[in-house]
Amino acid sequence: MIVVTGGAGFIGSALVWGLNRRGADDLLVVDRLRDTEKWRNLVGLRFADYLDKAVFIERLEAGDFNGRIEAILHLGACSSTTERDADYLMENNTRYTARLAAWHLGQPRGRLIYASSAATYGDGAQGYRDDEGALEALRPLNMYGYSKHLFDQLALRRGWLARMAGLKYFNVFGPNEYHKGEMRSVMHKAYAGVVGEGRMRLFRSHRPDYGDGEQQRDFIYIKDVVEMTLYFLDHPELNGLFNIGTGLARSWNDVARALFAAAGRPVNIEYIPMPEALRGKYQYHTCADMTKLRAAGYATPATPLEAAVGDYVRNYLQPGCGLADTTAR
């Protein structure tokens, strides 16, 4: 059995989709649905059972799953970069992952792959190399990034990284992110304005070395994320921290042009002031160093931004469907 925590969320449900495409359906989805719309991401997917995250960790630690789990893909976390409840993030992101790791290390076999984040790199002053030896120098800009960074540090100090893989996801976008509110990608948030008003709003730059809309990110399509993540399932000998990105930094203006082109509309960008609360915590440039993953044997090139945005718009945003929808390609 393979466990996917956060399995109704964005990346988690995409991994269930990817596993289904391989013919795997002995899957346990772990999440916390409550009154959210995340359940929609599970429609059309095949899995053996679903458990609330609190029930799962209690049963796991009680020994109910000993000998039954071949791998845990741990995507469950609060991923909001604006979450201000530090105690919640410490418990939900850091401590929950530590409890999973402790259980995993007590088993004679099995695989643990967990989600770290590019937010751990902070403003990028120390670069974006997935080098465990550089962890202590990193300074995340928000509590979300810090909660992820804390577990990376804990896993390194205790030697856990020798038996698990931590994946630093960069700016992921694509179908199944519909439920994420303000944490949705700009592609999803801007699409309605592009087709409805013929306009897209981007933050102005508040640094002289970047023009308006020229702030850059390493944007990676969810389908590439699925392939990269499952590569670690196929290669249990690969442990430690690894970047999950494209290795290319593209501007928000590039995103806008790709979105307008996919929607068949002329480019019309409006630049608006960045909220004061974000200015000191804003990353102006991110770009994954992919040397380590390439050296580990992963050679498949990432989907170019324009092609990825085109696929997202034409096959998912326009018809309004998710990855598991049979009308999507």
Mean pLDDT, rounded, for 12-17 = 98
Provide the pLDDT confidence category of residue 326 given band limits of 50, 70 and 90: low
- What span, in angstroms and rounded, lies between the C-alpha atoms of 8 and 214? 33
User: What pLDDT, in 10s, does the model give residues 113-155?
Assistant: 999 999 999 989 899 999 999 999 999 989 999 999 999 999 9
In a domain, 184, yes or no: no
In a domain, 314, yes or no: no
- What span, in angstroms and rounded, lies between the C-alpha atoms of 202 and 208? 17
CATH assignment at residue 111: 3.40.50.720
Provide the pLDDT confidence category of residue 281 given band limits of 50, 70 and 90: confident
In a domain, 270, yes or no: no
Provide the pLDDT confidence category of residue 280 given band limits of 50, 70 and 90: confident
Active site residue 180: yes
Report the candidate in 326, 328, 321 with the shortest Cα–Cα distance to residue 40. 321
Supply the mean pLDDT for the chain. 94
In a domain, 157, yes or no: yes
The more confidently predicted of residues 81 and 174 is 174
Query: How many independent structural domains does the chain possess?
Result: 1
Structure tokens at 242: 């690894």
Residue where the block lists tokens 């995409």: 14
Residue tagged active-site, from 50, 53, 180, 210: 180
Whether this prediction's pTM lies above 0.85 is answered by yes
User: What pLDDT, in 10s, does the model give residues 89-112?
Assistant: 999 899 999 999 999 999 999 999
Structure tokens at 72: 């845990």
- What span, in angstroms and rounded, lies between the C-alpha atoms of 254 and 277? 25
- What span, in angstroms and rounded, lies between the C-alpha atoms of 52 and 328? 29
Amino acid letter at 213? G
Residue tagged active-site, from 144, 146, 178, 312: 144
Q: Is the pLDDT of residue 12 over 90?
A: yes
In a domain, 39, yes or no: yes
User: What pLDDT, in 10s, does the model give residues 149-190?
Assistant: 999 999 999 999 999 999 999 999 999 999 888 889 999 999
Q: Is the pLDDT of residue 327 over 80?
A: no
In a domain, 205, yes or no: no
Structure tokens at 99: 């409890």
Active site residue 144: yes
Range of the domain at 108: 2-174+219-247+287-302
In a domain, 37, yes or no: yes
The more confidently predicted of residues 169 and 35 is 169
pLDDT over 90 for what percent of the chain?
Answer: 85
In a domain, 195, yes or no: no
User: What pLDDT, in 10s, does the model give residues 250-279?
Assistant: 999 999 999 999 999 999 999 999 998 888
